[in-house]
Amino acid sequence: MEAAAAPKPPFTAFPSSYTPKPFLRFALPNIPLHSKRRFLKISSALSKPAAAQSFVSRYGLEEPRKGADILVEALERQGVTDVFAYPGGASMEIHQALTRSAIIRNVLPRHEQGGVFAAEGYARSSGRPGVCIATSGPGATNLVSGLADALLDSVPLVAITGQVPRRMIGTDAFQETPIVEVTRSITKHNYLVLDVDDIPRIVNEAFFLATSGRPGPVLIDIPKDIQQQLAIPNWDQPIRLSGYMSRLPKSPNENHLELIVRLLSEAKKPVLYVGGGCLNSSEELRRFVQLTGVPVASTLMGLGAYPMGDENSLQMLGMHGTVYANYAVDKCDLLLAFGVRFDDRVTGKLEAFASRAKIVHIDIDSAEIGKNKQPHVSVCADLKLALNGINRVLESRGVGGKLDFRSWREELNEQKRKFPLSYKTFEEEISPQYAIQVLDELTNGEAIVSTGVGQHQMWAAQFYKYKKPRQWLTSGGLGAMGFGLPAAIGAAVANPGTVVVDIDGDGSFIMNVQELATIKVEKLPVKILLLNNQHLGMVVQWEDRFYKSNRAHTYLGDPSNENAIFPNFLKFADACGIPSARVAKKDDLRAAIQKMLDTPGPYLLDVIVPHQEHVLPMIPSNGTFQDVITEGDGRTSY
């Protein structure tokens, strides 16, 4: 982002041809850019790179090169090995430079939105920042949904866009959009590069910003003339983020951690409410539960942080969470909210949420503490450090093992027995929940699962038993349809050899169906379990419940021939040379899913399911636990 000029600090290591120019308004500390290859993990605290190797440039020390080549080498020095980039006029130079890299592979999406969602899938499944590249104008604006999604779900992303030459900015040039202004409120930070010599520093800052504190997306907009300009890069520039670094959370206060332990020892009915902020602290979370025996309810974003099949797991809470998870939060006397933001889809009516409980809120983002629900004790810190500290206090005081919540757990077990996750059968037709259960069994709960948005997303959250973090990839905060297939692409690139399944709905899938070409050409073994009900299922469910089943443009088939499956997704797959099959009867399902998993490479299984099925339980928007719905579907009138 352009800002007022400020003089740079003096340097001694610059090549003689270097003329420093101002860029950002921050006064910044001297943190050198080392010439080492970095593999950055998503981290909520400052830490050393996970791996550092001496980096050997393909250019001589004093050899001039284009700005685009400086950019690509800067990515290499950050440990980037994969990007998702779609070329255009304003980004051609970057793509030419990528062809000269022996380190970075470009996975070519068929739409820029596919590219940014794939970069998200890469980041969510691996813990490393995802990188996507697009041209100016419509290429850049096609990234907007992905950037907003990454911000809401705290996904580290670096998006690079080409821009018209500097002299043409503001002239309404061909394919010019002010993408820095467009994305200002949906990125953690963004840059407009106005000096080729700033590229090494800006890339270093972008990756640091994306991965530190609360992770998020950063955009770098690079005019074409900057990409073409020859320069000798200085890799030892300091990053200039003193204001940001001063706001990064410090180590948790020991007194606060001891207070949390004291509240825990006084509680009779404690519950853990864990979210996406726990994904990097899974081991510490498991140790805490081992020491205390506190039952665990997870948000949609936190699935897998604690094993869903464990006896202490209450699975998911919230609008479509289990009855027993929502019961636990409603009746608890201590709510341990770790790495969460009290989202409306979790809390429902805020005043009634955990109304009997003392609330402890630990989060790395100070803006989230007290934003929606005022806690009794708050700790703004890296959750990994906080949980380590709490576990240390528990162990040193011998509290672990002395806490007795057996009567509380038995009360919750009774709720599990009375209100298990269940579903109705449709005779020979396939219940969508059953399809996901079979997939869970056949993959032993170990696949990486991505989804679109809607009913299939909620069923995948309920009926697949995730064992570890980063198995579950979904658009939570934004709820972006079309996320599933591209996210699976990113996961397959980041995790070769791992089973990756896109559980998708027909409405979501068709929004980025062009990415079938990508998985074919890139030889990515993505499996697509398409739950096809010919409707926009979640909206249909709301129509059934609240609008007397009046269909308002939610039928996605062909109205002139409602008996046919439309469109024929098998022909989409065939057009891209991808094997596929359709299954409509329950007795044929298991063998069909097994064949999908056994077939090498990508595969699409079109599973025909009834549109009358509803996602249950359901707490209506702004409702309370008392309003929970556990019965009925589209075959019933309301």
**Residue 53 binned pLDDT confidence (cut-offs 50, 70, 90):** low
- Rounded to two decimals, the pTM is 0.91
* Both structure tokens of 328: 């636990």
Query: How far apart, in whole angstroms, are the C-alpha atoms of residue 308 and residue 302?
Result: 11
Q: What is the pLDDT of residues 63-103, one digit of tens each?
A: 999 999 999 999 999 999 999 999 999 999 999 999 999 99
Query: How far apart, in whole angstroms, are the C-alpha atoms of residue 516 and residue 221?
Result: 29
Q: Mean pLDDT, to the nearest integer, of 276-283?
A: 97
Nearest to 311 by CA among 284, 329, 288, 293: 293
Task: Point out the catalytic residue in the list 73, 76, 93, 112.
Answer: 112
Query: How far apart, in whole angstroms, are the C-alpha atoms of residue 366 and residue 248?
Result: 9
Query: How far apart, in whole angstroms, are the C-alpha atoms of residue 109 and residue 118?
Result: 8
Q: Could you say which DSSP state residue 25 is in?
A: S
Q: Is the pLDDT of residue 16 over 70?
A: no
Do the beta carbons of residue 412 and residue 328 sit within 8 Å? yes
pLDDT > 70: what percent of the chain?
92
| Residue given tokens 């998006």 in the structure block | 159
Q: Is the pLDDT of residue 510 over 90?
A: yes
Do the beta carbons of residue 72 and residue 121 sit within 8 Å? no
Q: Is 120 a catalytic residue?
A: no
Task: Point out the catalytic residue in the list 93, 120, 176, 224.
Answer: 224
* Both structure tokens of 65: 């090169």
Count H helices and E strands in the chain, helices first.
23, 22
Q: Mean pLDDT, to the nearest integer, of 572-587?
A: 98
Q: Is 538 a catalytic residue?
A: yes
pLDDT value of residue 635:
85
* Neighbour count for residue 44 (Cβ, 10 Å): 25
Q: Is the pLDDT of residue 345 over 50?
A: yes
Q: In what order do the strands lie in the sheet with 189-192?
A: 105-106, 82-85, 130-134, 157-163, 217-223, 189-192
* Both structure tokens of 96: 């030419």
pLDDT > 90: what percent of the chain?
89
Task: Point out the catalytic residue in the list 11, 21, 63, 174.
Answer: 174
Task: Point out the catalytic residue in the list 301, 481, 538, 618.
Answer: 538
What are 429's strand-pairing partners? Answer: 426
Task: Point out the catalytic residue in the list 175, 258, 419, 429.
Answer: 175
Q: What is the pLDDT of residues 171-229, one digit of tens each?
A: 999 999 999 999 999 999 999 999 999 999 999 999 999 999 999 999 999 999 999 99
Q: Mean pLDDT, to the nearest integer, of 333-361?
A: 97
Q: What is the pLDDT of residues 479-506, one digit of tens each?
A: 999 999 999 999 999 999 999 999 999 9
Query: How far apart, in whole angstroms, are the C-alpha atoms of residue 170 and residue 168?
Result: 6
Q: Is 112 a catalytic residue?
A: yes
Q: Mean pLDDT, to the nearest integer, of 582-591?
A: 98
Do the beta carbons of residue 473 and residue 526 sit within 8 Å? no
**Which positions ≥6 away from 143 have C-beta within 8 Å?**
112, 113, 115, 116, 132, 134, 159, 161, 183, 219
Q: Mean pLDDT, to the nearest integer, of 525-549?
A: 97
Q: Is the pLDDT of residue 308 over 50?
A: yes
Weakest mean pLDDT among 32-46, 285-299, 413-427, 497-511: 32-46
3-class DSSP string for 443-458: CCCCCEEEECCCHHHH
Q: Is the pLDDT of residue 603 over 80?
A: yes
CA distances from 190 to 367, 475, 590 (A): 20, 22, 48
What is the Cα gyration radius of the chain? 25
pLDDT value of residue 36:
36
End-to-end, the C-alpha distance of the chain in Å comes to 53
